[in-house]
Amino acid sequence: MKLQHLLQKKENRILFVSSSTSRCGNFTENDILNEKVFQKYINGYQAYADSKLLMNIFVERILMNQKENFNRSMFISCHPGVVPGPLYRHTNKLFQFGINKVLRYLLRSNKTAALRMIELLMRDDIKSGVYYEDEYDCSSVTEMVPVDLRQKLYEKIMEEVNALQN
pLDDT of residue 134 exceeding 90, the answer is no
77-133 confidence digits (pLDDT tens): 999 988 877 777 777 888 888 877 888 888 888 899 999 999 999 999 999 999 999
In angstroms, what CA-CA distances link 107 with 41, 89, 101?
30, 17, 11
> At 124, which helix (H) or strand (E)?
none
41-75 confidence digits (pLDDT tens): 788 888 889 999 999 999 999 988 988 888 888 99
- Half-sphere exposure for 142 (CA within 13 Å, toward CB): 31
Q: Where are the domains of the chain?
A: 4-165
- Residue 2: pLDDT band (50, 70, 90) is low
Amino acid 59: pLDDT = 96
pTM assigned to the model: 0.86
Amino acid 145: pLDDT = 94
How many other β-carbons are positioned within 10 Å of the β-carbon of residue 94?
Answer: 8
- Residue 7: pLDDT band (50, 70, 90) is low
Amino acid 79: pLDDT = 94
